[in-house]
Structure 1
Amino acid sequence: MKKLLYALLAVLLVVVVGIGALLALVDPNQFKPLIAEQVKKATGRELVVSGDISWRFFPSIGFSLGKTEFRNPEGFAEPNMVQLESAELSVSVMPLFSRQLEIGNVSLHDGRVFIQTRKDGLSNLDGLGQQTEVKAEPSVKDEAPVAEPSTQTEPKAAEVWTISLAGVELVNASAVIRDDRAGTLTNVSALNFNLSRFAPGEWAQAEFDITGLNGEMNFSAKGATELFIVPELNNAELKNLQLSALAKDKVNDISSVTLALDKLKTGDWSSVTFSAKGQVPNLTFDAKGETRFMLNEAMDVVKLQGLVLDSGLKGATLPRPEMAVKLAADADYDVKQGMATLKQFKADIDEISVNGNGSFKSADIPVIRFAVKSDNIDLDAFLGLDNAKKEEEQTQTASGNGGQAGQAGSAGTATQAAKDQEPDLSVLKTLDVAGTVELGKLKAANAKLANVLVDMKIAKGVLTLKQLAANLYDGSVKAQATINANGKLPTYKVSKQIRGVQIQPLLVDLADKDVLAGKGDITVNVTGTGLAEKRIRENISGAIDINFADGAIYGVNIPEMIREAKAKLKGHSTEYVKEERKTDFSSMTATLKLGAGKASTNNLDIDSPLLRIDGNGETNLVSEDIDFTVSTSAVATSKGQGGKGVDEVADLTVPIDVKGNWSDPKFSLNLAKLLKENNELEKKAHKEVERGLEKLLGDKVKDDEIKKAADKLLKGLFN
């Protein structure tokens, strides 16, 4: 027993003597030049240890490091890339004999990192890790010595070491990330991190908090989680992850952002909840959601299942003061392909509900594909156009025309500027988009459509509407169009076929104009350059063929005008009951030719049981002026519009002038042309005038001077 005690005392004495010798004979600060030299070789940068390096032996062997600076190359705004005020590290000795590496608490105080990218593109991170050249000792390239046969047995496989860490403490760290090319600056003023005892196969607690400034935005965040490293050190897990953050500048106030995750393990599903609340210019939001999340074991595919997002929005930029937005979907993201896929999504934006799928592939020109469906979309209500129209009508009714004259000039200038402004189509050159939209019902610009199908594509600066099909007002429409944005001005080509559409309710809904009724077929083929309203009117060319049946023209009663012409020809006053100002027809056909800022026709033909109408003329697409002449022939019949009174002027051709503009067309009887085109009527009219003069003047009508005056009067009436 005494021998054992002596042996232990001897060992203790050796240790004490060894430690004393180490403290007396070995000054760790003498290794500073060696450390600096090795860092220089490894990184090409200088390491300056200005603080002391000191040993620590209780309760474990370790050292503490004073102020240390890792230099930047010349030409950067700060001399140091990394600096530390102090650091501590210790290792337990006895476990080493059992192949156990037990590291004590690692503590780093007042660390600072500075990263800069200069205007010339050079960064202080460039060149790190490039070792400086070290001259190698010359080697002898003689014949390799023959290995002596060994009688020793093969060594056993290395035993596995176990590693544990008492903790990591990062206290009051800071960082600056500065990009002079982009003009951005992020300043992390305080970063604290703490990791509890950490060992493979055990759960460790981690916490952090951070505050800083990104540009003019102050931000802060904090979080906590539990970390698990498997014994093989080839995988890790998280659980109970909690993150929260906020940010604020002069115009933005993100008051709360939260994220909670129950666990994170590759190949397993995790439950995630999140929320965000705050205010940006003209918009206040309050959003929350949840999803199931999985990262595959290869860590290159992320899956979201059962994603639900519910957000309330308020702001002046919205179509209405308050809106509710809901989204439900499944999603995948393939890291290698850069492909995000949205599966079976459903989005509800107030009363608008859409569903479908889509994908986004990251590339120099992003590739987007989509298929969207909805039962009913009312764009007018969604965009607030219905309310805006009602408010405008109420304002006009309340104020009349008074008080608006002072605003007319500026409003007119603004309107004209808008008409001259080309839309910015540069985005068409930056996208590769293709997809379809199917709508059960659609209301837009007060027009009502059903069974809408849109098939479109954007590629290489060209928007192609491959198909637009819909049912509207008892008929149908099909259209194709292209817009090419690659030239100085965009060009377009449109073809459209409208079949069996009831024109009257369509015009009333679209333009609030009740000027035409009937069942119509319209074929449109037009091209043009420029999409500003003014350029469209000036440059559009092509043709529009119309074919209407069983309708009426509102605003003019041609049979009434025929009876008026008859009365005037007889010198009688028009004694009849005023009828509705409309002209019925059984068919109307015309071809409108577009070009040089005008729309013209020379083959207007309107037929009815009572009338035959031919017309020609033009309208200016820029000024909206109208200049048409309509020649009307009455058909002998005692039935139909006009009744028996028209029989007396059967086969009479009555010319009617259509003047004015689109918003206020004017219809008038061209009496002079009427008489010229109907010689018998002109002769009869002359006789009626002469007879009237005889009754008025008696024998004086034969006087030469009076005859000259009468002839002059007649010429004025009939020319």
Structure 2
Amino acid sequence: MKLLTRLLIGILVFVLLLIGAGGVILGFVIDPNDYRSEIEQAALESGGVELKINGEIDWSVFPWLGLAVNDIAIRYPEQPQLATLNQAQLSVKLMPLFSGNVEMSSILVDGLKLNLITTGRANNWTGTQADKGTAAMGEEQQDRGRSGGALRGLDIESITLSNAQLRYVDEAAGSRIEVNQLNLTTGRIAPEQEIPIELSAQMNQFQGDTQTLAMTTTLSTNAQLNLEAKQYQLSGLNAEVEVNSAALGPQPLKLGLKGQVDADIAAQRVDIELQQLALANLIATGQVGIETFATPTFSGELNLAKFDLKQLLTQLGQSAPETSDAKALTAVGLNAKLAGPANTLTLNPLTLTLDDTTFTGSLTIDLKSQAQTIALKGDSLNADRYLPPASNEKAGQQSASNGQSGGERWSKEEVIPVEPLKALNLDAKLDLAQLKISGLDANNLGLTVSAHNGLVKISRIDADLYSGTLRNAVTLDARKSPLQIAIDKKITGVQIGELLTAMNGSAPITGAVSSTAKLSAQGQSIYAIVNSLSGNASVNAADGVIEGINMAQTICQGINNVASLGINTEQVDQSTPFANMGGNFNISNGVVSNKDLAATLDAMSLAGRGSVDLPKALVDYRLGLTIKENLFKQTCSVNNRLEGVEFPVNCKGSFDTPPAKMCSPDASVFANLLKAEAKKKVEEKVSKKIEEKLGEKLGDEGAKSLLKGLFGN
């Protein structure tokens, strides 16, 4: 376009010089078609382009100095065709020229075809170095000509560009853009006067032979241009764009813009009044001010009226998430003030509405480094509304091929992407007063994230829940390969009964649970993480009750098999209070080992030791109950000789083995008890008979003394 403008200006200057030299008289006797070759040669010498005038050159002199050129072709030497033109017309009122003013009637450019081709290293619109030098000399001569007699005023009735086409081809990328039906019309163009402008065009984008995008656009505005002062104003701006693309689905995407622009380029200032920006169902309004273009500062306000995010995503060709609440994500809005230091875009204060939840805070983007800083506080969020609808399918369950190998239980699919982690340049602090998720309630949630150069530190994952606290931290180091993961976990005083009731509707165990853990892992898949999981953990539960305990009943029933002990199992209490329960765990490459699980129960103590192999999905654990005093006293009275005896239960099998089959009491304990009790009864029976015999001869006291020495009682 710059080349064509320069060419038209050159022709205009040529005509003006001709008039100044007495061309009024010559115009009646000279046919400009006789000088086509000279005009084409002048274009080559002054502009460095090959100009072919294939049609007629028409002109008139009085009262209008008019010029019409038909069927023009332009190219740089030895380059593909750059442009063709059906017709160009312009006319200048003759008499005002003598006073230094230019009054034109309509300027018409019809059938312009601009063909831009690049190979990645060269193109057809800049020409060779020699062409550039020739063009520069031509421009210098034109500048000297213009400076010698500046025009005092410019007044053009209108400018019309009709049926224009633009074609841009990138041969290296195999893509092209075609702009068709480009039409531009203006009203009167005069100093310090608004210029009505209307523009319309249709654009197609191709990748190879496949069309990827089709777009139509219309624009109307009133422009006031001060070219000398570099001041530009657009008022009554109204633009509409309709986009069709396979990526957007079958429905076209519509964009509308209404507003005005006031730009002072010399002062490096632009003010934009956004009366309405409509994208599908999203409507934005506001004002934006930009100063100092090199290191811009922003001011103003931006408002997004509440909109249906699902509908917007659908119209953008994206899959809208399915939510358990159909009304979730249907009322999203934003309000923000634009502020901040130079070279940053800051939204502060920022108010974000997500259905019934409101977040307030700030967002800052560093325009140079693209670093983002976010600080948001929310009131109450029911996350269950945004979870997928309940499904009867047990998704994600993978069974082991056998209890020894674990099969393909743990997926090797990468679930933690490394490249997005490396690209993060973020500092975020998020707080939420209340959260409901999966039926659980939590308060005072907090999250602090720092992510730079592949190192992601989540230094704060906090929550208060069920009379206790959760304080966690996670570090992801994507600077190393494989990905390194570190977890620091601390739970204090969480009432496990309240938690389990909220999750399942019932609580088999109650008490205040506390836990600490320092864990590490590596890799991007569940398989890699499970197989590399290592560290230490401790768990403690205090002041609780185990409901429906099977251990006590199993023991009572087992002991009841020893008929001589006489136990009433029908009265076994199905709840067991405990004072303290806990243990320490060591994890190495996914194998969890424990040697000191202990619990102080009512009249009993519980001990456990063993291991859980996560990679192989195997359990090998031993639990033991020891009676400290009369078992549950009135409900399950036992012989005092059972106090201090451990009743073990062995649990061994895979994660898929039913608990009833995985865990079973150690029968040898009951067999030994039977033997011991039988021996005791035999000893008592033999002792009694011997005592009777000896008593006759030695007397009662002598017999008892002798038997005590023989049997030890």
Instruction: Please say whether Structure 1 and Structure 2 have the same fold, judged by a TM-score greater than 0.5.
Output: yes
CA distance in 2, matches of 1:353, 1:257: 28
2:322 to 309, 319, 323: 319
Query: Secondary structure at the residue paired with 1:123?
Result: coil
Q: How far is the alpha carbon of 1:331 from its aligned partner?
A: 5.1
Q: Which residue of 1 aligns with 2:516?
A: 523
Match of 1:500 in 2: 493
Structure 1 residue 59: deviation in Å?
4.0
Asked if the contact 2:55/2:71 (under 8 Å) is kept, the reply is: yes
Aligned partner of 2:198 in structure 1 is 207
Cα distance in 2 between the residues matched to 1:270 and 1:442: 39
Cα pair distance change 1:19/1:126, threshold 3 Å: closer
Residue aligning to 1:53: 57
For 1:126-525, what aligned pairs fall within 5 Å after superposition? 126-127=126-127, 131-132=131-132, 161-215=152-206, 216=211, 217-230=213-226, 233-250=229-246, 251-262=249-260, 264=262, 270-277=273-280, 286-296=281-291, 300-312=296-308, 313-314=310-311, 317-320=320-323, 323-330=329-336, 332=338, 337=343, 339-363=344-368, 366-384=370-388, 387-388=389-390, 391-392=391-392, 418=411, 420-507=413-500, 509=502, 514-525=507-518
Summarize the Cα distance change of 1:644–1:621 in structure 2 as closer, same or farther, 3 Å threshold: same
Residue type at the aligned position of 1:66: N
- The 3-state SS of whatever aligns with 2:385 is helix
Bigger mean CA deviation after superposition, 318-327 or 503-512: 503-512
Give TM-score, length-normalised by structure 1: 0.77
**Contact 2:277/2:284 (<8 A) preserved:** yes
TM-superposed deviation, 1:578: 6.0
Provide the secondary structure at the position in 1 that maps to 2:570. coil
Partner of 1:283: none
Asked if structure 2 preserves the Cα contact closer than 8 Å seen for 1:655 and 1:674, the reply is no
Can you list the C-alpha shifts for 1:363-415, whole angstroms capped at 9, x where unaligned? 5x63111112111222232123xx41xx42xx79xxxxxxxx9x999xxx998
Query: Partner of 1:597 in structure 2?
Result: 590
The size of the alignment, in residue pairs, is 624
2:135 and 2:676 map into 1 onto residues whose CA distance is 126
Classify the secondary structure of the residue corresponding to 1:517. coil
1:143 maps to none
1:112-140 CA-partner distances (Å, limit 9, x unpaired)? 1122232x443334558875557999xxx
SS across alignment from 1:122: coil
Are the equivalent residues in 1 in contact too, given 2:186–2:196 (CA < 8 A)?
A: yes
Partners of 1:113 and 1:302 lie apart in 2 by 37
- The CA deviation string for residues 676-718 of structure 1, in whole angstroms up to 9 with x for no partner, is 5x7xx642246779999xxxxxxxxxxxxxxxxxxxxxxxxxx
Q: Is the contact between residue 29 and residue 52 of structure 1 (CA under 8 Å) also seen in structure 2? A: no
Q: Which residue of 1 aligns with 2:86?
A: 85
2 CA distance for matches of 1:535 and 1:36? 74
Match of 2:625 among 620, 632, 640: 632
Cα gap change, 1:297/1:377 in structure 2, threshold over 3 Å: closer, same or farther? same
* Residue 574 (structure 1) shift: 6.4
TM superposition shift of 1:303: 3.8
Secondary structure of the 1:85 match is strand
Kept in 2, the 8 Å contact 1:195–1:205? The answer is yes
Q: Which runs of 5+ in 2 are unaligned?
A: 1-18, 138-147, 265-269, 686-713
- Note the C-alpha offset of 1:618: 1.2
Residue 612 (structure 2) aligns with: 619
CA RMSD of aligned residues (A): 3.9
* Letter in structure 1 aligned against 2:197: A
Match of 2:659 in 1: 665
**Matched-pair contact (CA < 8 Å) for 2:626–2:645:** yes
Q: Go from structure 1 to structure 2 and tell me whether the alpha carbon gap of 1:568 and 1:36 turns closer, same or farther (over 3 Å shift).
A: farther
Q: Is the 8 A contact 1:308 1:329 kept in 2?
A: yes
Offset of residue 238 of structure 1 = 1.5
Q: Which residue of 1 aligns with 2:543?
A: 550
Q: What displacement does 1:318 show?
A: 1.6
Unaligned runs of 5+ in 1: 1-13, 138-156, 278-285, 397-404, 693-719
**Shift of the alpha carbon at 1:50?**
2.5
How far apart, in 1, do the equivalents of 2:381 and 2:276 lie? 31
In the other structure, the counterpart of 1:69 is 73
User: Could you say what secondary structure the match of 1:505 adopts?
Assistant: helix
**1:417–1:33 distance in 2 versus 1, CA, 3 Å:** farther
Q: Which has the larger displacement, 579-588 or 505-514?
A: 505-514
Q: Deviations over 1:151-182 (max 9, x none)?
A: xxxxxx99881221111100100111222333
Question: 1:468 Cα shift?
Answer: 1.7
Q: Equivalents in 1 of 2:254, 2:597: separation in Å?
A: 68
Structure 1 residue 264, shift from structure 2 partner: 3.9
Please tell me whether the aligned partners of residues 260 and 272 of structure 2 are also in contact (alpha carbons under 8 angstroms): no
Q: Alignment partner of 2:350: what SS?
A: strand
1:587 to 580, 597, 603: 580
Instruction: Tell me the distance in 2 between the aligned counterparts of 1:242 and 1:628.
Output: 75
Write the letter of the residue equivalent to 2:321.
L
Summarize the Cα distance change of 1:360–1:298 in structure 2 as closer, same or farther, 3 Å threshold: closer
CA displacement 1:409-455 (0-9 Å, x = unmatched): 9xxx9985845434322111122111101111123444432111111
For residue 662 of structure 1, report the CA deviation from its aligned partner.
5.6
Q: What is the CA-CA distance between 1:475 and the residue it aligns to?
A: 0.6
Q: Which amino acid aligns with 2:362?
A: N
For residues 514 and 481 of structure 2, what CA distance do their matches in structure 1 show? 36
What residue identity is the alignment partner of 1:276?
L
Amino acid across the alignment from 1:290: T
Distance 1:318 1:519 in 2: 38
Aligned partners of 1:571 and 1:688 also within 8 Å:
no
**Equivalent residues in 2 for 1:663-702 (5 A)?**
664-666=658-660, 667-673=663-669, 682-685=675-678
Change (3 A) 1:608 1:500: same
CA contact (8 A) 1:638 1:647 kept: no
What is the alpha-carbon distance in structure 1 between the residues aligned to residue 597 and residue 71 of structure 2?
96
Give the partner amino acid of 1:60: W
Distance (Å, rounded) in 2 between the aligned partners of 1:503 and 1:102? 89
Displacement after TM superposition at 1:86 (Å): 1.0
8 Å CA contact 2:552–2:572 kept in 1: the answer is no
Query: How much has 1:296 moved relative to structure 2?
Result: 4.4
Q: Comparing 297-306 with 545-554, which one deviates more in the overlay?
A: 297-306
> SS where residue 534 of structure 1 aligns?
helix
Question: Deviation of residue 341 (structure 1)?
Answer: 2.2
Match in the other structure for 1:708: none
